[in-house]
């Protein structure tokens, strides 16, 4: 099973900052030029991010984080959760509520 490293042009790249790249030992790199090149994730996908963080504004022109994920997955849900950089620790109740609703 192949996994992908997807580079969607993180805004901090233009500021000469580094960003993490996620991969597995047997990954193959993939930098799609359009959403049609990497598609087909069929399982339900939950996307959560920190409210009032960069994700709320960085990808606004693209429709926000959910729109970005919908390029590759057909069944995407999620929302911003109040909290800081690591919102699951700072807002356990809301994070847990979203996770439980997702797996129910």
DSSP for 2-20, please give it. Answer: --EEE----GGGGGT----
Q: Whole-model pTM above 0.85?
A: no
Binned at pLDDT 50, 70 and 90, residue 37 comes out as low
For residue 78, pLDDT beyond 50: yes
Strand 28-30 relative to strand 45-50, pairing:
unpaired
The domain total for the chain is 1
Binned at pLDDT 50, 70 and 90, residue 58 comes out as confident
The residue segments making up the domain with residue 52 are 4-103
For residue 84, pLDDT beyond 80: yes
For the residues 26-38, what does the mean pLDDT come to?
51
């Amino acid at each position: 099973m192949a996994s992908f490293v997807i580079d969607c042009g993180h805004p901090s790249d233009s500021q000469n900052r580094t960003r993490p790249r996620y991969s597995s030992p047997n990954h193959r790199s993939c930098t799609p030029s359009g959403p049609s090149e990497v598609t087909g994730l069929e399982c339900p996908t939950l996307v959560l991010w920190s409210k009032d963080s960069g994700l709320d504004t960085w990808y606004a022109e693209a429709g926000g984080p959910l729109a970005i994920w919908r390029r590759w997955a057909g069944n995407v849900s999620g929302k911003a959760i109040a909290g800081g950089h690591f919102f699951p620790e700072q807002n356990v109740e809301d994070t847990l509520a979203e996770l439980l609703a997702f797996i129910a």
